[in-house]
Amino acid sequence: MADREALRFAVEGAGEVSALLDRPANARRILVLAHGAGAGMSHPFLEKLTARFAELGTATLRYQFPYMEQRRRIPDRPSLLTATVAAAVKTASELAPGIPLFAGGKSMGGRMTSQAAAEGLLAGVAGLIFFGFPLHPPNRPGTKRADHLADVKLPMLFLQGSRDAFADLKLLRPICAKLGKLATLHVVPDADHSFRVPKKSGKSEDQILMELAETASQWADEVEAKR
């Protein structure tokens, strides 16, 4: 079980946004976790994922982007999104000093986290974790959204479903290969962008969520060991 604290923090130029800190006893690390474009921090996927992380000793800080806080449908401009990521990371470092700090998110939230890292805004972060990196829109394959990754100097973990319409693995694999030792790609067989799998896969939602949390935790252990 993890203690949950509801809080708010300031984002320059946008007022305050809401956040949820889930912290198990004797947390080993903290993960700053951003939501995707169409759903906020309380989306069931993130709720269940944070519970799995808590079981493994990882605290999480989820937060709203300003447009979601204000109940608008259109995401904020990229500069405000990255400023929000940076403010969330700073808040997490103050809430949990002395333990390793990671950052990432689901879909757009992960991409904006990587953009903030490329811009040098994430001081103290040990690595980035992407849950379904949105390389391109569905049916519009391309790699432009990954151009900034060359400027990220942190280890990155890409957790991707093999049926993810937002990331053709034929395009993503070469990108990860070019990033070299900084990039690790873990493919979840049969999973789509939301990490849903067909019944014939034989895996339950809980099993998929635990696979994501365990893979991320093991990777984080390796990153920490090298620091």
DSSP string, 195-213: ----GGG---HHHHHHHHH
The pLDDT value recorded for residue 200 is 87
pLDDT tens readout for residues 105-154: 999 999 999 999 999 999 999 999 999 999 999 999 999 999 999 999 99
Q: What is the SS3 assignment for 2?
A: strand
Phi-psi region of 124 (alpha: psi -120 to 50; beta: other; left: phi over 0): left
Give the pairing type, strands 125-131 and 15-24: unpaired
Phi, psi for residue 62 in degrees, rounded to 5: -95, 155
Q: How far apart are CA 117 and CA 153, in angstroms?
A: 8
Q: Which fold has domain 2-226?
A: Rossmann fold (3.40.50)
Mean pLDDT of all residues in the chain?
A: 96
Q: How far is CA 213 from the centre of its chain?
A: 11
- What DSSP letter does each residue of 140-161 carry, written as one string? ----GGGGGGGG--S-EEEEEE
Q: Are 92 and 61 in contact (CB under 8 A)?
A: yes
What value does the CA radius of gyration of the chain take, rounded to a whole number of Å?
16
The pLDDT value recorded for residue 202 is 86
Q: What is the SS3 assignment for 14?
A: coil
Question: Which runs of consecutive H residues, i.e. helices, occur in 31-100?
Answer: 44-55, 66-69, 78-95
pLDDT tens readout for residues 79-103: 999 999 999 999 999 999 999 999 9
Beta bridge partners, 128, equal 103, 156
The pLDDT value recorded for residue 227 is 84
Q: How far apart are CA 101 and CA 29, in angstroms?
A: 6
